[in-house]
Amino acid sequence: MALLPALALLLVAGWQAVAWIAAWQLAGEAARAGARAAEVGAPAGHAARAVLPGGWAGRVRDVAVDADGGVRVRLAVPGLVPGLPLAGEVRAAAGAGR
């Protein structure tokens, strides 16, 4: 009887791990796109959001351009179970020797 709850917990933990990994990868892609845009004088925030698929663009919390041209992106990670503190955010940086 305890096997089903354990399997359900394992499934949720696995999918949450996939969400964290996907967010980490997408934040890196967004940071690189923002850095490329900043190099040519285009808006880094717009470029960073444009490369994100579907609803991920709405999860961008911050795009910051440093004085040296580096771009930092903060992206919210979705929580799969409402009410549980599984959500969070990932950060990525690109450009200017990063």
pTM (predicted TM-score): 0.85
How does residue 81 score in pLDDT terms, banded at 50, 70 and 90?
confident
- Over residues 32-66, the pLDDT tens digits come to 999 999 999 899 999 999 999 988 999 999 999 99
Tokens standing for 45?
Answer: 């925030």
Cα–Cα dist 86/43, whole Å: 32
Strands of the chain, DSSP E: 60-65, 71-77, 88-94
The domain locations on the chain are 3-94
